[in-house]
Chains A and B, each alone.
Chain A
Amino acid sequence: MSIQSLIMDFQKFWAKQGCYLAQPYDLEVGAGTMTPDTFFRVLDKRPWKVAYVQPSRRPADGRYGENPHRVQKHFQYQVIMKPSPSDIQQIYIDSLAALGIDLQDHDIRFDEDDWESPTIGAWGVGWQVMLDGLEITQFTYFQQAGGIDLFPVPVEITYGVERLEMFLEGRDNIYDLNWSDDVLYRDLRFREEKEFSEYNFNHANIGMLRKSFQLHEKEAQQLIQKDLLLPAYDICLKCSHVFNLLDSRGAISVTERVKLIGQMRNLVNQIAQKYTSGESSS
């Protein structure tokens, strides 16, 4: 029982459902939803099925390696299916069975939890999936992104890899998880959590980050004018991560927060609009 065997089980399972297995995106993102394999692909009308692991960074969640279940980087297993299959809930339940969980012995609940991201003009309807009281998955039918009604409707399933593995191994501490038979999560991630918490909270250079945000914002703006939407979007992701770092440094006042989020939303909405209006040379 290990994280890597969990990932392998998922890869096999979702490949069998017809998903293309993407590799993790190579930029810092806050969630699997933000990578191009989700963001762009849900916008258009073409069918799309993809599954991938995405390392996700939330600088403010760092706890110097001292909290048994909060970390500033975790792994999501992200699935997108468009259009949403009519039996997707059953497929999801089967995916848990594929990990060896016998649901006859457990309590699985789909609790109302609608998702919204004003930054990318997106919202969806769905649930947080609770397994014996543990939140293991966000399950969302996307309705809008970039301010655009999505059709066909994509369904997004985002599993928390560490959460699920803690459930499977019955552990109380994330660092005790097995990554493989002989490598622990602690061996791979403990020092990283400690040092990055130190960086995120105390050492990230605020002046440099502020400047960097504005430079990137300008760059993205120019790329949008040139219809280079994919690079423009990458630059938006950089802005977003820089914003999160500034936030964890406690450097963003309330008015500034509104302003910076507004700048990002503006960029992302322009990209989404251009992408769907067919102006881009896709």
Chain B
Amino acid sequence: MTEFLLEIATEEMPSSHVKTALVQLRESLVAELLAQKVDAGEIKTYGTCRRLIITGDLASRQEDSEEEIIGPPKAAAFTQDGSPTPAARGFAKSKGVDVQNLEVIKTDRGEYIGIRKVEKGIPTKDLLTEIIPRIVSFLSFPKMMRWGKSSFRFSRPLKSLLCLFDEKALSFSIGGIPSGNTTTGHKIYFPQKIRIKSFPDYKKALRNKKVIIDPEERKRMILSHIERKISPKKAELHPDDELLESLIYDVEHPYVFLGSFPEEYLDLPLEILSTAMREGQKLFSVVRGKKQLPFFLGVADAYKDSKSLIRKGNERVLKARLEDARFFWTQDLKISLKGRSKFLSRVVFQEKLGSYEDKVQRLKKIVAYISDKIEVVKEKKYAIAAAELSKVDLLTEMVREFPSLQGKVGGLYAREEGNPARIWQAIYEHYQPVGLDDELPLSVTGVILSIADKLDSVVGVVGIGIKVSGSKDPFGLRRYAQGVCKIILEKKLSFSFPRLLDKVINVFGERLQEPKDLLKKYCQKFFSDRLRYIFERQGYRYDLIDAALGAGIDNIYYSYLRLKALDNLKESAQFAPAVLVVKRVNNILRDQLPYKINPELLMEKEERELYTTFCIIRDNVLPLIAKGDFTKAQRIIFRVRSTINDFFDNILVMVEEKRIRRNRLALLQEVSKVLNLVADYSRIVIEG
């Protein structure tokens, strides 16, 4: 095996670009090597904002390939005494070999003469020279650019290419940049060229020139340096994984510094302090418990701050930002949320859906409805009061400065004004969850307001004809719908979802353009798809998900209970036989019109038995379904199996006599109806 190393040096790329590029590089190189039959060990990638690195051990050449070229049949190639015929000579000549080199090749059709040619594998070095420019040119980034006089597109301008195989430079060019065996160190400390011989040499040389190429190592450095800085203060980092992730790639050599700010700013809430630190300067808050301390942590692209200029510079900038934040805080509080709310009519939510004032009026109706349906009537007036104030913070200076704090700022101001917790918390939490892993609202009022706000957006935007498809989701409707589902599932909220949709559609009055029934259908499908996504992410079997969702999403929480029941019982001995029986019932009913059952026409023993069993089961299962106890409901259904089997074994359904045939079909239809209330068993895959 021979070592391969590629480094693509660029100007600073966004961290998301580095990550996607490293994945793409690895996948495409592995695929190319496989296609070219070049044996390879583990392929590893590293990177910083200024370089993409890929390395691994490869075979020095492609595998040899053997080719057989078949000529005339052996019988026609040699005379009796074994000397070659003109046919054999002609064949040999046409292939440029000597007649003695012809071999006998056995085929299905008999013995032939021919030649075996061994094609020697192409040296990997030559293959790489062709493969590398191709895969690098095909890298795709969320946004691409051109520079200089070239039409080549990349994440950011290419600076240099280092490519070694067997310690020798490979020669090619990409976007006008020639490859070679040199790179540069840290952009400020060591911008000079350095020559590289091998990957170990590269790693070591760059470490000396203040570049740590491994993101994992940089992460460890940052975390351990942070620990060292704050443990003497008995303090903790206010966790911010997103910030940490971006810093890992932003710097080539992390240097952690601890700075401070005047205690007078500690009057501001932690949310505002930490946002002021993160946005712009990318600083971490330092806390004890959940209380901000007058310190912050920064990560510089440096290895020293011997004159403390980095720390002092950041302190000065932060102080100005905190001063601004405090100014906004005191200015904003001069006008009450209520007093400010009359200006909501000036802020457009969506042109066709009206202003935020319109939205607030809708939210008030929706939260009232939800409060009734989930039976928290005592919370209702608080939820309505929260809805009333929920969007006012869009008019504050603080949210104009820090848009990511919308909701939170409104909640904090509502708290300052002395509103009860059920109101301010609801405002504070009503955008949550933003992502699927984000925290959910803690307060009941927050839960209600969050569901209402998101549903209003989904129904409204879809209702004016904006559809979500593929990468097109300009309003982030998928995220809203997932948020709604997530809340319902985790808070175990049981209510009729279609009726809630009706309510939301109705509060829009005449604003929506789509016909109501189509809109409702679209929304149900949309939410069903989001549920499927959530369930798949939780690792459930896809056919069980299909079966659970196939029963409809009349009640979103129940869809989960259905799935859970299927998942609980999938290993039980009765599961597969029961599913097969249900499938049998469904098969016979396919393409049949619905008929009405007449118990008096049931004459045979087995059909009467099925009917009695069915009645007992129906009366037991329906209440269980209403309660959401799908596991028990299924266990009961499993017991019908033998009765149904007996029925099929002894009764011919498709008899001549129409009355009897239809009555038997009607019986099976009744049975099937109940079974399908539990799950759509026809979607379940039974192996073997």
> In the bound complex, do residue B348 and residue A254 qualify as a contact, i.e. CB atoms below 8 Å apart?
yes
Q: CB-CB contacts of B180-191 with A at 8 A, as 1s and 0s?
A: 000000011101
Q: Check if A282 is an interface residue, CB within 8 A of chain B.
A: no
Q: CB within 8 Å of A: which of B518-547?
A: none
> In the bound complex, do residue A107 and residue B302 qualify as a contact, i.e. CB atoms below 8 Å apart?
yes
Return the contact of B187 from the options A67, A93, A172 (Cβ within 8 A): A93
Instruction: Report the contact-size class of chain A (Cβ under 8 Å from the partner).
Output: 35 or more
Q: Check if B582 is an interface residue, CB within 8 A of chain A.
A: no
Contacts of B309 in A (CB 8 A): 105-106, 132
> In the bound complex, do residue A86 and residue B143 qualify as a contact, i.e. CB atoms below 8 Å apart?
no
* Majority secondary structure of chain B interface residues (helix, strand, loop or mixed): loop
> In the bound complex, do residue B156 and residue A125 qualify as a contact, i.e. CB atoms below 8 Å apart?
yes
Instruction: Tell me how far the C-beta of B218 lies from the nearest C-beta in chain A, rounded to whole angstroms.
Output: 15
Contacts of B90 in A (CB 8 A): none
Q: Which of B251, B301, B316, B351 has the most CB of A within 10 A?
A: B316
Q: CB within 8 Å of A: which of B309-340?
A: 309-310, 312-314, 316-320, 323-324, 327
> In the bound complex, do residue B191 and residue A103 qualify as a contact, i.e. CB atoms below 8 Å apart?
no
Q: In the complex, A109 Cα to B147 Cα: how many Å?
A: 20
Instruction: Tell me how far the C-beta of B286 lies from the nearest C-beta in chain A, rounded to whole angstroms.
Output: 16
Q: Check if A69 is an interface residue, CB within 8 A of chain B.
A: yes
Contacts of A85 in B (CB 8 A): 148
Instruction: Report the contact-size class of chain B (Cβ under 8 Å from the partner).
Output: 35 or more
Q: Check if B306 is an interface residue, CB within 8 A of chain A.
A: yes
Q: Check if B5 is an interface residue, CB within 8 A of chain A.
A: no
> In the bound complex, do residue A167 and residue B149 qualify as a contact, i.e. CB atoms below 8 Å apart?
no
Return the contact of A132 from the options B146, B191, B310, B327 (Cβ within 8 A): B310
Q: In the complex, A105 Cα to B189 Cα: how many Å?
A: 10
Q: CB within 8 Å of B: which of A76-125?
A: 83-86, 89-90, 93, 103-112, 114, 125
Q: Check if A262 is an interface residue, CB within 8 A of chain B.
A: no
Return the contact of B250 from the options A111, A114, A151, A170 (Cβ within 8 A): A111
Q: Check if B234 is an interface residue, CB within 8 A of chain A.
A: no
Contacts of A143 in B (CB 8 A): 145-146
Compute the total of residue contacts between A and B using a CB distance below 8 Å.
Answer: 106
Return the contact of A172 from the options B145, B305, B320, B347 (Cβ within 8 A): B320
Assuming the A-B contacts A93-B188, A108-B188, A254-B346, are A172 and B301 also in contact, with contact meaning beta carbons closer than 8 angstroms in the complex?
no
Q: Check if B283 is an interface residue, CB within 8 A of chain A.
A: yes
Q: CB-CB contacts of B149-191 with A at 8 A, as 1s and 0s?
A: 1010000110100000000000000000000000000011101
Contacts of A153 in B (CB 8 A): 145-149
Q: In the complex, A127 Cα to B14 Cα: how many Å?
A: 10
Contacts of B307 in A (CB 8 A): 105
Contacts of A86 in B (CB 8 A): 148, 157, 159
Q: In the complex, A111 Cα to B12 Cα: how many Å?
A: 8
Q: Check if B11 is an interface residue, CB within 8 A of chain A.
A: yes
> In the bound complex, do residue A104 and residue B11 qualify as a contact, i.e. CB atoms below 8 Å apart?
no
> In the bound complex, do residue B145 and residue A125 qualify as a contact, i.e. CB atoms below 8 Å apart?
yes
Task: Supply 20 further A-B pairs (C-beta < 8 A) apart from A86-B148, A255-B348.
Answer: A68-B320, A84-B157, A86-B159, A93-B187, A107-B301, A107-B310, A109-B250, A111-B282, A112-B12, A132-B313, A133-B281, A133-B314, A134-B313, A134-B317, A151-B146, A152-B149, A167-B313, A172-B316, A253-B346, A254-B348
27 contacts between A and B (CB under 8 A): A67-B327, A83-B147, A83-B149, A93-B187, A104-B189, A105-B305, A106-B302, A106-B310, A107-B300, A107-B302, A108-B188, A109-B250, A109-B251, A111-B12, A125-B145, A125-B156, A132-B310, A132-B312, A134-B316, A135-B280, A151-B149, A152-B148, A153-B146, A153-B148, A167-B313, A172-B319, A254-B348
Residues of chain B whose beta carbon lies under 8 Å from any beta carbon of chain A:
11-12, 14, 49, 143, 145-149, 151, 156-157, 159, 187-189, 191, 250-251, 255, 280-283, 298, 300-302, 305-307, 309-310, 312-314, 316-320, 323-324, 327, 346-348, 351
